[in-house]
Structure 1
């Protein structure tokens, strides 16, 4: 008789609610995602808002395809689908309880035909050639159970992320500046994306969001980027006008133009 393969053990999914905000945890007090109960379609956490930084550079349109690795509360995917009626989204998480929680506790609508919600290994997903050159945007929010650092940091992982993107395409990734893997993540991300990487300033709980670019070189004046940010802030209610200053002050760039 064949022995059954040992089943993978996942961190327990738990919740808390404080001042009208529901939080996701994976068996620890550390926050893995959040939703304001009376405003479930908005992005509550600042780093999650910055994960939408690709909006400064890409305009959602017909046949716009997005990917999220690490579902969490599903808030990033939910917000993305609300941007345009023709956007499609794929969200991937290895922990089945997280996938259930995103639906039952945080309102991710799995009946939306534009959404594919998959239980899968993120590294295997990005290395699968069937998934290459399929996505305009990739959001990576893969943290370990303690929420102390990214779950995936290797060169092969970031090379796979690059391969999943179309050209032009943009990746955003949530990193943790106080974790030992921070420099490793930045170096591997830069290697995979040819040093075309920008960093937001660090926000709450030491989160640092990086933006990486695939496709032709991009040059845009800071003034035009600020106009784009002002437009987005009116359209999306995100604090996008502050993003331009964060990027400009935190990266070595020309005084007049952003070139990446």
Structure 2
């Protein structure tokens, strides 16, 4: 188990607030920007389209894989949607790394995040440092990276070195999914850094959502591009978890195929 570590004073971190509508509850970090949401009548479902796409690693995992034997990690807790889904719905060993203690408290108090146990761990730590811990090297099957500050302007961690550290966490069959979104960030530059760390042949990207979120998948080891196999796996994922997986394969492409020749 990774030791909890605090590296940033709480005074430097944005204040957390919660708002609620008729259907969902929302997490904010000192601004009107939505940093996460939860359906009130189904708190364990994945509500937002980009968050759903963050679990597209399922398309590259065999249907007969025992997910309960695998490790998932989220860098950035948000409203805990991904953490709850991997822990509760998929039954995986799940760890979230979040620097802001107020976010953790809000998720426990308002977003139905269960307490830590032998399968669920929430660490208050700087993700860029915590992921270098020896316990994580080669241990993670599904890694989700969604690291934004209260301005949601650009990823907080977005270097080739950081993505190389993420790759080192993955098992040979492992997959990283990253949310790229921001008013000042450059998708092309971020994608180039991911390709530098993983190799362009191992990277896939969705078309952007209407809100501007582009989800990128990076595999530790390249897998054959078999459209029929992906379609069949998507149908199984959709049936099992009520996710729009059959739509994913229509808007998900290998980066190497779209690169200029």
Match of 1:126 among 126, 131, 134: 131
* 3-state SS in 2 of match to 1:149: coil
Q: Which residue of 2 aligns with 1:75?
A: 81
Alignment correspondent of 1:186: 191
More moved, 177-186 vs 128-137: 177-186
Secondary structure, counterpart of 2:251 in structure 1: helix
CA distance in 1 between counterparts of 2:90 and 2:38 reads: 21
Assess if the C-alpha contact under 8 Å between 1:46 and 1:204 holds in 2: no
Partner of residue 32, structure 1:
35
Provide the C-alpha distance between the structure 2 equivalents of 1:103 and 1:15, rounded to a whole number of angstroms: 12
- How many residues align structurally? 247
> Is contact 1:131-1:164 (8 Å) kept?
yes
For normalisation by structure 1, the TM-score amounts to 0.89
Which residue of structure 2 lines up, in the alignment, with residue 158 of structure 1? 163
Structure 1 residue 204: Cα displacement:
3.3
Contact 2:152–2:182 (CA under 8 A) maintained in structure 1: no
Provide the TM-score with structure 2 as the length reference: 0.89
Equivalence map 1:1-260=2 (5 Å): 7-8=9-10, 9-59=12-62, 60-61=65-66, 62-85=68-91, 87-176=92-181, 178-195=183-200, 196-215=202-221, 217-248=222-253, 251=255, 253=257
The answer to whether the 8 Å contact 1:24/1:33 transfers is: yes
- Secondary structure of 1:219's match? coil
The CA distance in 2 between the partners of 1:6 and 1:201, in whole Å, is: 35
Query: Over residues 190-234 of structure 1, what are the superposed CA-to-partner deviations in whole Å (9 max), with x where a residue is unaligned?
Result: 10101121111101321000000002x311421221111111111
CA RMSD of aligned residues (A): 2.0
Aligned partner of residue 206 in structure 1, secondary structure: coil
- In structure 1, stretches of 5+ residues that fail to align are 255-260
CA contact (8 A) 2:238 2:244 kept: yes
Query: Aligned with 2:250: secondary structure?
Result: helix
Distance in 2, matches of 1:201 and 1:253, equals 14
Q: Is the 8 A contact 1:193 1:213 kept in 2?
A: yes
Distance 1:54 1:79 in 2: 13
Contact 2:145 2:176 (C-alpha < 8 Å) held by counterparts: yes
